[in-house]
Amino acid sequence: MKKTICLIVMLCTGLLLNACGQTTDQAYALMLRGLYKESVPTVSVQQLNQQLQQKKAPVLIDARSEAEYKVSHIAGARFADYDTFKPSQLKDVPKHTPVVVYCSVGYRSERVGEQLLKAGYTNVHNLYGGLFEWVNQGNPVYNNRGKTDKVHAYSRSWGVWLQKGEKVYE
């Protein structure tokens, strides 16, 4: 109940900040704190960028809907719909392989990460702040035609947290 009230307060704060035409990193962090259960370790955008430069880059899993994924995603990310995800979808990935899961802000990806940990994957991380944080920090996203500025913002109320890119709502 306390987390639900906290989440409602965070969303209202976001809507108020949007009404003023601004959001802050602090407000975003506060909202994420209310959403995350901290059941899956997080990785920052900067850490993920460093990992992606290494020979053994992590497997990226996009836990958003197919419509969101088609608008844009991080280069090389595998689509794994949150609503239908099963760890068996990664049967080709050894259980010790680094895996980074992301969604719009990190809530759905944390749930997918929990499933992977429960299935025996040992090196699973949730991208802190999700794709919104990735884009807000100036990192590129892609669709089937190449690099794009478009980002599916999930909904108008969640879109307040996306500060860069061209927002798409289905």
CATH code of 71's domain: 3.40.250.10
Which pLDDT does position 1 carry in this prediction? 57
- Classify residue 64: in a domain, yes or no: yes
- Classify residue 136: in a domain, yes or no: yes
- Classify residue 140: in a domain, yes or no: yes
User: Stretch 115-124: mean pLDDT, rounded?
Assistant: 98
Which pLDDT does position 23 carry in this prediction? 47
* Residue 16 predicted with pLDDT over 50: no
CB-based contacts of 13, cutoff 8 Å, min separation 6: 27, 30, 31
- Classify residue 30: in a domain, yes or no: no
* Residue 139 predicted with pLDDT over 60: yes
Query: Smallest Cα–Cα separation from 168: which of 73, 27, 36?
Result: 73
Number of domains within the chain: 1
* Residue range 146-158, pLDDT digits in tens: 999 999 999 999 9
- Classify residue 32: in a domain, yes or no: no
Per the structure, the complete domain to which residue 127 belongs is given by 38-168
- Classify residue 21: in a domain, yes or no: no
pTM: 0.86
- Classify residue 115: in a domain, yes or no: yes
Strand pairing partners for 151? Answer: 167
* Residue 21 predicted with pLDDT over 80: no
* Residue range 22-71, pLDDT digits in tens: 445 899 999 999 999 999 999 999 999 999 999 999 999 999 999 999 99
- Classify residue 24: in a domain, yes or no: no
Burial track 123-150 (b if 16+ CB lie within 10 A, e otherwise): bbbbbbbbbbbbbbeebebeeeeeebee
